[in-house]
Structure 1
Amino acid sequence: MNIEGLTLAPLLWELNAKLTGGRIDKIFQPDDYTLVIWVRQPHETLRLIISVNPASPCLYLSDTPPENPAIPSAFCMLLRKHLVDGRIAAVTQHGLDRIAYITIDVRDESRRYRQ
């Protein structure tokens, strides 16, 4: 099913309401096209599934995430390095584009040790 910007807008509005302020706890990459991001909110953990599969792209919250590989990919390790412990500031879109923007605030750990 193709999703246009008009259909994506209410989805992103709902995801913004649920995810804003949440801390990224874990990131997994079950396959080449899919990311699973665990977002910790007070009293609950949400699992955001992002798939960019050309045949069926999707963006949703799930109770049962897909199975994860034993060895993470290099891309997944890079995302973990930069995004884990970050806080989701907003989930938005520009106008009615079909692009979802997830703004994440992260602390710069390298500044902590500078004098």
Structure 2
Amino acid sequence: MEVEHQIAKLMVQLSQSQDNEIGDGTTGVVVLAGALLEESEALLDQGIHPIRIADGFEKACNVAVQELDRISAKTTQLEKVATTSLGSEIVPTLLLRNGTPPVVERVAL
């Protein structure tokens, strides 16, 4: 995808990276990044230095990760893979490409 604007290029790269790494959530990361950029602009308009803004986002991220770790249910890696795969765009794409595997047909019964 050819894009001229630098921020738009970053958003495209972010979406592609999310799709390559996870296979889902591209809209969510772009919406989140857009919200962070919007907040950054407001903070810059108030005269706050970009480094302070970035540090604040990093601290907020650490707090969020700690809280998510605290409240998350403990699951096995296999459960995580199954849950993510069944809820993503990957499974329908594979089904369309390869046909319905027998296990999916049995679950559908």
Whether TM exceeds 0.5 here: the answer is no
| Higher RCO, Cα 8 Å, sep 6+ | 1
* Structure whose residues are more often strand by fraction: 1
Q: Which has the higher helix share?
A: 2
Larger Rg: 2
